[in-house]
Chains A and B, each alone.
Chain A
Amino acid sequence: MIEPGVGSKHATTKYRSQFRIYVDIMRVIQREGNQTKPTRILYGANLSHDRLVKYLEELKSLGVIQESPLDEDKTYSLTQKGIEFLNDFRKVEDFAGAFGFKL
């Protein structure tokens, strides 16, 4: 389970919560065929370089993404835990969205 950050308490705030950024990063990786370079994530998730590095490290420590040890250029992919989390999150998002609630 991914614990949301401090900013996620109020879903209506304009800025993205830490939790939302985690999901955005993971969705970019998934969208790119589950093998993505950091620059693609940076543009896809709309993050600065420093924040991207920080969040990628956090996601790695949570075990939801992994860095490819084989590629010369760093690439990231979702782990099985990450794929399952995104699937579960999609269901929760659809469920809340049916009532008109944004997560």
Chain B
Amino acid sequence: MAAPYWFFGYDSLMEFVACGIAMAIAYEAMKGYALVKQRILLYLNLSFILLGAGLLVDGLSNVVIVFARFHRELLFLYTIGYTINFVAQLIAYGILVFAYFQQTRAFATQITMAAVIPIMFMQRNSFSELILVFLLVYISAQTAINYSVSKGTNAFLVLSAFSCLTLAHVLFLLFTIIPILFPFAQIAQLFGFLLLLAMLFRVNQAL
């Protein structure tokens, strides 16, 4: 099932903005890695590069469809764009979960890898979207723990951002049943990235 007809174009615009923010966060992580050479920053960098790339491909595929006036022979691009974005997000959130595992050492590395690899080969369906939601719930829980310890504004912004992204994916999951939820899912996703951008501004203006 596709997004509401009237919303085509707006979703691409939102994805391009989110892509820009994801790339800015990836750049910040790369700058940090160049300074302190901590692997955790490399994971953050890779994760947000993948998120940005996925959003860019999905947004571009939708733009092509809109400019081609929904030509029937080009509608396959919608599925390709979505699938690439979906796989990119699975790997990106998988990397973040792996980074949290490494930080907390809650599980052995091998177990984490064993959990992430099958996710990468999932086909597009509600169940695989549900796995994305589970990954985001785990990341949100980790950021909530971090906020409960640090009580910092930046930690709160990151917690809110991942909560919004989780909500967005719950709405993406439900939109196959209730199509009107698609715009709300896109807005929640964009809002999540905007919160990450606010954190980035705060970090860079702290001194």
Are the CB atoms of B40 and A103 closer together than 8 Å? yes
Report the stretch among A29-37, A61-69, A82-90 that lies at the interface. Answer: A82-90
Q: Residue-by-residue, is A1-15 near B (CB-CB < 8 Å gives 1, otherwise 0)?
A: 101100011011000
Least CB separation from B40: chain A residue: A101
The verdict on B108 contacting chain A, using a C-beta distance below 8 Å, is no
Given contacts A12-B103, A87-B207, A98-B203, contact A103 B38 (CB under 8 A): yes
A96 close to chain B: CB less than 8 A: yes
A43 at the interface (CB under 8 A from B): no
- Say yes or no: B29 contacts A95, CB within 8 Å: yes
Sorted from nearest, which 4 A-B pairs have the closest CB atoms? A100-B146, A98-B154, A92-B32, A101-B40
A9 to B154, alpha carbons, bound, how many Å?
A: 25
Point out the residue from B38, B152, B203, B204 that lies within 8 Å of A4, measured CB to CB: B38
A residues near B39, Cβ cutoff 8 Å: 9
- In the complex, residue of chain B having the shortest beta-carbon distance to the beta carbon of A20: B36
Contact of B157 with A by CB under 8 A: yes
CA distance A101 to B28 in the complex (A): 14
Report A-chain residues with C-beta under 8 Å of the C-beta of B44: 96, 99, 101
Determine the chain A residues whose CB is within 8 A of the CB of B142 once the complex forms. 100
- Does B199 belong to the interface (CB within 8 Å)? yes
Nearest neighbor of A99 in chain B, beta-carbon distance = B158
For residue A19, CB closer than 8 A to chain B, the reply is yes
Kindly state the separation between the CA atoms of A85 and B40 in the bound complex, as whole angstroms: 19
**Per-residue CB proximity of B9-40 to A under 8 Å, as 1/0?**
00000000000000000001101101111111
Partner of B155 from A3, A11, A85, A100 at Cβ < 8 Å: A100
Q: Is A91's beta carbon under 8 Å from chain B?
A: yes
Instruction: Tell whether A103 pairs with B36 under 8 Å between CB atoms, given A94-B206, A95-B29, A96-B44.
Output: yes
